[in-house]
Amino acid sequence: MENIISIVLNKWLKPQKGSVLLFDSIAAASEIALMLKGQWDGCNGVIVAKCDEVAVNTVAKLQIATWCYEGASKAVLHRVTTDEILRRYATGERYFVNANLRCAVLTSVKLSEINLSYAKLSWADLSQANLSKADLTAAELCQANLSGADLNQAYLMRTNFSGANLQQASLRGANLSSANLSEVNLTGADLTGANLALADLRGANFQLCNLSGANLTGAKLIENDLAFAKQR
């Protein structure tokens, strides 16, 4: 029995061909992929046909990064500062997938068409921010302040907005399919033409919210809550 367990554990722990390596920095992963002639996954992962740990440790040291095998442990991405986001955005960079921006203060910033999918933005202050056409797919925005924000035509599929403040926010034509908008403040928000199919809207505040032309197919909501919304 012990031999069987040992074999199973060794097989599970032993890196296989086509190993996925996770780094604690997206920028480092991009550079290391080139150095190792591997494939960058667009985030903090690098796929290599065969892992040479000596080589990986060497290039990781050069990039001041730490790494692990996918599944062995969780590589936590470095927190991205507000200044860094703005600086990199100003140089034309738009790809910030999985960024850690919890509690960040990004009020009134212009970040249209930025890709923050899977980003951690819980408790962040994005009031009055321009996030039009931004990609926030599956991002964590619970308890975030997005009051007055421009989210027109943004990609917000499966995004978690639970408890967030979207008062007076503009989400015209935004795709919020399967998003979590439970207990969200949508007072005065503009959701004209938005896609809310399969979204969780239970407990949301729709006071003076414009839902004209919005798709609510399969959405979870309390019908009485819509009594205070504008619908045509």
Tell me what pLDDT residue 64 has. Answer: 82
Q: Which sequence spans correspond to the domains of the chain?
A: 14-69, 79-232
29 phi, psi to nearest 5 deg: -60, -40
Instruction: Report the largest interatomic distance among the alpha carbons of the chain, rounded to a whole angstrom.
Output: 69
pTM for this prediction: 0.68
pLDDT tens-digit map of 123-142: 899 999 999 999 999 999 99
Residue 4 in this model has a pLDDT that exceeds 70: no
CB 146 within 8 A of CB 169: yes
Fold of 79-232: Pectate Lyase C-like (2.160.20)
Give every CB contact of residue 192 below 8 A, 6+ residues apart in sequence. 172, 173, 210, 211, 212, 213, 214
